[in-house]
Structure 1
Amino acid sequence: MREDVSEVATSLHRPGTKRSRVPYDSFEWQQDPHPTNGVPRSAWTRQRRRLSRWHRPYTLVLIFLDLCSTLLASWIGATFLEKAQSGFRERSLFFLHGESLFFFFAYIVLPLGWLITLWANGSYDRRYLGLGSEEFKRVVRASVFVVAGVSLLAFATVTSLSRGTVAVVSLSGLLFILICRYFARQVLHIARKRTGHGAHRMILVGTLPEALEVYTAVTRSPAAGLIPVAIHITDGYAAARGIETPVPVFAGRDVLQLVREVAADTIAVCGSASAEPGELRRLAWQLEGTGVDLVVAPQLTDIAGPRVHIRPIEGLPLLHVEEPTLSGPGWLAKNLMDRMAAGLGLLMLSPVLLAVAIGIRMSDPGPVFFRQPRVGHEGKTFRVWKFRTMYVDAEERKATLEELNESDGMLFKMKQDPRIFTFGGKLRATSLDELPQLINVLKGEMSLVGPRPLPADDGDYLGDVRRRLLVRPGITGLWQVSGRSDLSWDEAVRLDLYYVDNWSLTYDLAILWRTIGVVLRRKGAY
């Protein structure tokens, strides 16, 4: 690991020109450039192009896919219109003056107009590509604008427009664009995970604990495309002595010069790094025209975007953090959805449940179901329903296997647990043993999505763990779709608390969708 031991800096701005030399190893002394209130836009033109090399080809691919999607939507709409007219052409937008005008509007004006609207709505902005839902929101917003524009054009030209054609073209075009962008994102994620291409190289600026916390957060998801390559500490090099860091640590350096040296394209100011008023603004001035992004990572962890709002007051941006939504119409809708889905699921899966029950009885004599006390909503105890996957004397044999426990938390886990019979192992691998918990959901004791239910015989849950009890435990949850039994206890608790603090109906649907893939891959199921 390469470490910079130059003059200790305690702020974002470059140190003064008067400096005394200190002992250093493997460090080339450099003269500071003259301070400025901004960087000429032409100074880093070559650097900017090199840093943006992943974004431009990816954007070209998106443009091509969007164009193909709109052309395909126009073709489908034209086919639908021809069939609907049954041999004659009504006076519509596409057939104002014959077939040539139809081709002009359907295959030139509409696709190009759609692409321009997508660009105007920022759907090609690299800040929104590759992660999160903002990209898809902007695509939907642009598509709504296209439909509104077509309708306005038809009204202004007093054109009899086929509503069915507009609906088919707009819905199919939007669907094709979203599907193509989803698969393009998956390819980008694979490239980022395997090769590191298409990622942003980031310098973390702040105190060492703050920088390491941000490093841990951004590296949890390689698909995010954020790769920290250096840490510039503002609390002095002495703070890093004797501490092993995952990336090189620098101190007392000009941040812009460091960006050039490590070929970074993003500067992340962590926590309280900008202690002096105006420093962050001056750094933003210096980055103008360089192609380098400036992001601020506040001392707020595991807080999702919908709960964070910026409210400027007299030029001061105040970051407001709203309370978690654990009641109200959304919560009522969640409960109704749980009950309806559980009832329908039990009805539709009854043949599967019967087949599993017969398999258990044939594999090992004893009860079909296993019921264990668990802690639920607000600390209330209930009995969870599960298909039995272990021999009937499993609880008695557990005491002899405690030293072989592979979990560092409150649950006993073994990859090769001798208490599990063969058919039970298959049930666990496919997660079919969890299906009877739909009974708990129907009774209101559990939810489809929520934190994992904890055993009731391990004493009271205090501290952060107790916060999990603010919501009903779930059949699946963020822990289950993020690694299940392969995760440490601390990581599982962190994910459960993140769900509690940032719950939403949309998030529930996303977790349910991810559960399908996790079950099919049998990841962490044992």
Structure 2
Amino acid sequence: MTDVKVAGPRPIQAPPAPFTFPSYKSSGATALATGDRARWVSRYRRILLAFDLAAVTLAVAVAHLARFGVAPEFMSGGGPSVNISYVAVSAGIWAAWLLALAVYRTRDPRILGTGVDEYKRVINSTVILMGLIAVFCLVFQVDISRGYFALAFPIGLGGLILCRFILRLWLADQRAKGRYLSTVIILGRPKDVRYVAAQIQRQKGSGYRVIGAALTSPGHCEVGGSGNQIPVIADRNTVVDAVRRLRADAVIVAGRMKGHSAYVQELGWQLEESATQLILTTGLTNVAGPRIHTRPVEGLPLMHVELPQYAGGKHVLKRGLDMLLSGAALLVLIPVFAVLALLIHRDSPGPVIFRQERVGRGGEPFEMLKFRSMVQTAEDDLAGLLDRNEGAGLLFKMQHDPRVTSVGRWMRKYSLDELPQLWNVFLGHMSLVGPRPPLPREVAQYDGAVRRRLYIKPGLTGMWQINGRSELDWKDGVRLDLYYVENWSLAGDLIILWRTVQMLRRPVGAY
């Protein structure tokens, strides 16, 4: 292996015969300076700190006043001769709580506004603090009221999570308006650049705006046809100059390239001068962050990828959450069920509930329930419509299906026809979140990795529901389902459920 010798920052040598790149055009999107990003990040973190202060202060104050009132209270600690004021105890817990949030970097810019890491760090910091206080009290024989703890920590943790949730909604709204975004340049081969850019553009809450591509080989790069073109602004040798010229916030290295390790190392050194972030894609497209752990061994960074878990404690908790939420929803929605049943009955002849065989976990068939949204002869009429199929792969979809009734059309738009599946969830045939429940004829044509969709229970909603539904092609639907099967988490399920509720307010791809 050839040693790479570097004496301070220096430009990466250009090739002998560089090719010509298209001139950069912003396409109406002005590139934000790194200083601008630092300002909005700093402002957002100050707002978040203010919310944290309010949540912790409120929790400690409520617990103190509810348990001890305004009169001074003392507790014994470290021996009978020592009296400690509960005001001092509250002040100490207040300071320790804020310190724990800072130590666990709950306001790290890299996790703000996206993913579940922010919530996990808040929960972990609070739980660890509770444990440390409990150990301290045990070792030094300090007797703190249990009622005080029972009020302070649940109220504080709930307040911290609620504050972050509210701020995320605000941040998402700002990003939808083109604000509070980090500008990025994607470096790699054309197909890798296209893929990464498409994923960023698909996920509106990613917080990135792609302003250009730096290609490792000649050619133009565009995503999604006209209107979504990515201008090619540099190659691998001039990407640093492009970062300085456009004041980009980050460079995303998509895929591997010639001399990858040495090149990425030197690129990182050069980006240090402008404080520009260097982001690497792992190439593990179906592996999420929680399953990836790094472990350095004598300067060699090893990446550990945990195996997917298809049984165990997490699945028991998932089943408990399914039963709790589906049971509560069934009770609350009884009036809605009655109104929908009446409308369906009056709209067209036939049963109110449509029953259809679907395939569940491990290939086990079950009877899935839906409110009938089509005419009674829909199954028999299907054969005459196959030549007009607008779906992809094994799916049959028609945007203007003549079998759909007038009531069924708006029920399907807002997914009201799927509400009876809450009973399937309660019985254990399905889960609230999971892959799309397939038909037996679809499963019969599964090949290769597609059968992995059957490793867990199908869901009432899932990745497919919040990413376009019927507008997804077969390949993307399978990719999203497999990603969920191997990387699901309870926190992720709650986020998908919330995004489903948001999506139903502005339905996309529902017909």
* TM > 0.5: yes
Corresponding residue pairs, total: 486
Q: 1:181 aligns with which of 151, 157, 164?
A: 164
Partner of 2:13: 16
| Per-residue Cα deviation, 1:82-107 (whole angstroms, up to 9, x for no partner) | 44xxx8643149xx999xx877775x
Give 1:132's aligned amino acid.
Answer: G
**Shift of residue 363, structure 1, vs aligned partner:** 2.7
Tell me what 1:61 maps to: 47
Query: Does structure 1 residue 194 correspond to structure 2 residue 180?
Result: no
**Matching of residues 24-423 of structure 1 within 5 Å:** 24=20, 49-83=35-69, 89-92=72-75, 111-147=94-130, 161-195=144-178, 197-234=179-216, 236-237=217-218, 239-240=219-220, 245-273=229-257, 275-288=259-272, 290-335=274-319, 338=322, 353=337, 356-399=340-383, 401-402=385-386, 405-423=389-407
Instruction: Tell me if structure 2 keeps the 8 A contact 1:228–1:247.
Output: no
Structure 1: distance between partners of 2:358 and 2:10: 55
How many Å apart are 1:161 and its aligned residue?
A: 3.3
Measured against aligned partners, the alpha-carbon deviations of 1:267-286 in whole angstroms (never above 9, x if no partner) come to: 22222136254333333333
Q: Aligned residue for 1:496?
A: 481
Distance 1:336 1:171 in 2: 21
Q: Secondary structure at the match of 1:482?
A: coil
- Shift in CA distance, 173/383, structure 1 to aligned 2, threshold 3 Å: closer
Rounded Cα–Cα distance in structure 2 between residues aligned with 1:378 and 1:152: 45
Q: Mind listing any 5+ residue stretches in structure 1 that lack a counterpart?
A: 1-11, 29-46
**Alpha-carbon distance in structure 2 between the residues aligned to 1:259 and 1:357:** 60
> Rg: which structure is higher?
1
Judge which range, 61-70 or 139-148, deviates more.
139-148
TM-superposed deviation, 1:154: 6.8
Q: Secondary structure at the match of 1:74?
A: helix
Task: Provide the secondary structure at the position in 2 that maps to 1:53.
Answer: helix
- For residues 367-516 of structure 1, the aligned pairs below 5 Å read 367-399=351-383, 401-402=385-386, 405-441=389-425, 444-457=428-441, 460-516=445-501
Q: CA deviation at 1:240?
A: 4.2
Q: What displacement does 1:109 show? A: 5.8
Q: Work out the CA distance in 2 between the residues paired with 1:393 and 1:48.
A: 61
Aligned partners of 2:222 and 2:92: how far apart in 1? Answer: 64
Give the Cα–Cα distance (whole angstroms) in 1 for the partners of residues 278 and 181 of structure 2: 15
Higher relative contact order (CA 8 A, sep 6+): 1
Is contact 1:14-1:252 (8 Å) kept? no
Return closer, same or farther for 1:264/1:405 CA change in 2, 3 Å cut-off.
same
**Aligned-residue CA RMSD (Å):** 3.8
Change (3 A) 1:48 1:149: farther
Superimposed CA distance per residue, residues 175-229 of structure 1 (whole angstroms, 9 cap, x where no aligned partner)? 222211221122112111212x222211222222222222222222121112222
Instruction: Give the 3-state SS of the residue equivalent to 2:466 in structure 1.
Output: helix
Deviation, structure 1 residue 293: 1.3
Counterpart of 2:6 in structure 1 is none
Where does the alignment leave 5 or more consecutive residues of structure 2 unmatched? 1-8, 25-32, 77-81
CA contact (8 A) 1:390 1:420 kept: yes
- Report the Cα offset of residue 333 of structure 1: 4.7
Q: Which moved more, 1:301-310 or 1:140-149?
A: 140-149
| Contact 1:78–1:165 (8 Å) recurs in 2 | yes
Alignment CA distance shift 1:346-1:137 (3 Å): closer
State the alpha-carbon separation in 2 of the partners of residues 396 and 389 from structure 1: 15
Q: Which residue identity lines up with residue 503 of structure 2 in the other structure?
A: V
What is the CA deviation profile of residues 283-328 of structure 1, one whole-angstrom value per residue up to 9, with x for unaligned ones?
A: 3333335321122112111321122222333322222333321233
